[in-house]
Structures are given as structure tokens and as C-alpha cells.
């Protein structure tokens, strides 16, 4: 049931999204405390600082609502609608059904507005801690990627916890990747250039899928695009302490998501199926484009994964976005520094997939 507080928060979010991009940085700082936020040598983007200040003013702290999956999903969906960039257009968007290990996996195909030779295909796994998120909540991000990278995007609606514990999401993600390789031509894409990618939990899935393909002898993705990925569920990094609260994703959120994903399954946090950083062998994997955010709990484990890949002989393009917070791919509507960070990593994706 929608409460008065929920309605007020929704109105506040819509107003904030309209106002923040129009204000000069000095005004954003003034309205959010009067001074810049600098931690660990990084200074928070002023638009994000104002957004976070507005959330705190309305009593919002993190993505998990009352430790309830249904309420948290509803809140995440509402926030996504508020942040939707309706003017980002692609040539075509169509529903797709993928045969999966436990039934049909819903997906959505975004066709880019490009002519000439078939464009690459990105199989995209959304974030949300393996508990939140769906095709609608990542629609704006997928349209942005397809338009600006000039690629087909196949967004995958994998099974979520706690209804489906690990490795259900992995099984769906891998099945979707194999299907995409087989059906790339039918989608109008280049079968020689099929990449995997995702943010947060989705980045985790993209990393795991890449290793599973190598181990099974299946064709490797052309690229693994890992956007602030979760790579070590054991935690313990410095960034998990530094940014445990106040930067959209909280330590409570992460702990709750991880427990919902793994508890009750046959896996634990040290299993490489859920913690790809802990795999013994990372050699022979696809080239990686790894992106981290400076004000993110998951920053250090993303950095560590990039380092381990590079030490294992994998080609790595590592991009640190020092002024960003977790989830910035969904915040592009704020423009400014957020828009520039998204433009940089999507441009890098385009460049990596430009070659056969």
C-alpha cells in the first residue's frame, strides 16, 4: 500500500531530477551542506551530493526497505521510473523468450539505430543485489547503452532471490549467453562480436559466465564489461568500511542482498560461483572493461578483480570514476559529471567492440 510518505518521496524525487541538472555546482554544494565531500582523496560529484542530501532529508537510507523483498522491489521500480530518460531512443525494442534451465527466461532486445554491417551484441545482466531489478527498471540504461555504443542489447530477466537462491541467477545468465551466441544472426547482430556485461550483481554474473564458458570450452564472450561488480562476497575490503552508509548502497543493503542470494543454497560466500575473485585460475578469459566508482562499497573488490585478471594475462581496461557512487549508470538523467562518466564507459565499450 502506498503511504503519504511514499507519495511525498516520489514527488520529491521527480522534482529533484528536474531541478538538479539546472543548478550550478556551487548552488548544489550550498543546498547539500555547504562544502564538498572528499573521502580517500576523491571528491563527490555535486549533483550526486545533492541527490543524497535530498534522500537523507526524506528519511531514505539505502535500497532495502524494512528487510522485505517485495517492498524493496516496489521502491526500486518507483525510483527507476523517476530516473527514466524518455528521450533516449533506439530503432526497436522487442520482448524475447529464452529457453532456460527452469523454464522460459524473459528478455528484451534493443536494436540500435545504425546502418551498414551488423552491430555487436551485448548480453546485459541488471544489478539489484540478485534480489531487485527487472527489465523495466533497467530499460533507460539499456536504451542509453544501445544508442550510444551502437550495439544490440539483450537484457536478461534472470531469476531473483530469495525465491530462487544461488546459483539460479548464474544458470539463467549462462543459458541466456549461449542462446544469444546461437541466435545472434536472427537478432540482426554480428555473431563474431557477442559480449557480456552488467552492473553490480549483473557484473558479478557477467564475470562468472565468462569463466564458465572458458571451463566448458564454449566460445568466449568478445568482452566482459564489469560495471562496479561484486566479486568477493566475504567483504572485508577498506571501501566496504569507508562507504558503509550514506552513498545510496549501504552495508546493510549488501549484507541483506548477499544473504538472500546464498543462504539456503549449497554454496557459501567463498564459492567462485558467487565470488569470482576467489577462482583459482583466471587465465584465458575474455578481455575485460572494468569500471569502479570512487564512493562505492564495491570499489576495492572491483579493483582487485581487475588486478587479478591482469596478473593472469587477461587484457584489462580499468576505468575508475572517482566522483561517482554505486548505481550511476541509472542516474544519467542528472547530467553533468554523471553523464560524462556514463559517456566515457559506454564510449569505451563501443571502442572495444568495434573490432572483429
Which residues are marked as active site? 200, 296, 326
| Residues β-bridged to residue 92 | 111
**Contacting residues for 74 by C-beta, under 8 A, at least 6 apart:** 65
Length of the chain equals 356
User: Which H/E stretch holds residue 48?
Assistant: helix 46-57
Contact 174, 117 (CB under 8 A): no
Q: How far apart are CA 38 and CA 46, in angstroms?
A: 11
* Burial of 332 (C-beta count, 10 Å sphere; 0-12/13-18/19+): buried
Q: Could you write out the DSSP letters of every residue in 321-333?
A: EEEEETTGGG-GG
Residue with cell 546485459: 124
Contact 198, 170 (CB under 8 A): no
Contact 302, 318 (CB under 8 A): no
DSSP code of residue 354: S
Amino acid at each position: 500500500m502506498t503511504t503519504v510518505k511514499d507519495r511525498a518521496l516520489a514527488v520529491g524525487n521527480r522534482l529533484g531530477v528536474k531541478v538538479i541538472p539546472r543548478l550550478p555546482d556551487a548552488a548544489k554544494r550550498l543546498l547539500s551542506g555547504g562544502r564538498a565531500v572528499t573521502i580517500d582523496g576523491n571528491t563527490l560529484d555535486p549533483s550526486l551530493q545533492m541527490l543524497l542530501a535530498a534522500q537523507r532529508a526524506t528519511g531514505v537510507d539505502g535500497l532495502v526497505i524494512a528487510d522485505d523483498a517485495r517492498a524493496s522491489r516496489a521502491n526500486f521500480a518507483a525510483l527507476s521510473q523517476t530516473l527514466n530518460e524518455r528521450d533516449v531512443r533506439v530503432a526497436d525494442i522487442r520482448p524475447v523468450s529464452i529457453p532456460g534451465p527452469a523454464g522460459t527466461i524473459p528478455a528484451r532486445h534493443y536494436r540500435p539505430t545504425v546502418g551498414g554491417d551488423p552491430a555487436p551484441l551485448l548480453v546485459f545482466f541488471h544489478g539489484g543485489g540478485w534480489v531487485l531489478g527487472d527489465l523495466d527498471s533497467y530499460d533507460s540504461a539499456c536504451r542509453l547503452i544501445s544508442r550510444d555504443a551502437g550495439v544490440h542489447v539483450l537484457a536478461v530477466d534472470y531469476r531473483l532471490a530469495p525465491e530462487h537462491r544461488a546459483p539460479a541467477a548464474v544458470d539463467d545468465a549462462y543459458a541466456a549467453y549461449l542462446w544469444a551466441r546461437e541466435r545472434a544472426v536472427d537478432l540482426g547482430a554480428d555473431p563474431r562480436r557477442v559480449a557480456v556485461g552488467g552492473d553490480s550483481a549483473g557484473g558479478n554474473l557477467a564475470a562468472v559466465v565468462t569463466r564458465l564458458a572458458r571451463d566448458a570450452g564454449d566460445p568466449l564472450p568478445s568482452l566482459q564489461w564489469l560495471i562496479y561488480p561484486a566479486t568477493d562476497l566475504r567483504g572485508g575490503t577498506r571501501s566496504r568500511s569507508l562507504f558503509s552508509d550514506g552513498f545510496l548502497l549501504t552495508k546493510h543493503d549488501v549484507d541483506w542482498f548477499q544473504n538472500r542470494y546464498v543462504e539456503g543454497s549449497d554454496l557459501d560466500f567463498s564459492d567462485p560461483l558467487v565470488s569470482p575473485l576467489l577462482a583459482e585460475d583466471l587465465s584465458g578469459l575474455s578481455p575485460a572493461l572494468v569500471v569502479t566508482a570512487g564512493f562505492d562499497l564495491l570499489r576495492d573488490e572491483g579493483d582487485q578483480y581487475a588486478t587479478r585478471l591482469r596478473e593472469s594475462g587477461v587484457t584489462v581496461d580499468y576505468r575508475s570514476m572517482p566522483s561517482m557512487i554505486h548505481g550511476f549508470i541509472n542516474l544519467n538523467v542528472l547530467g553533468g559529471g554523471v553523464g560524462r562518466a556514463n559517456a566515457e564507459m559506454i564510449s569505451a565499450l563501443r571502442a572495444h567492440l568495434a573490432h572483429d
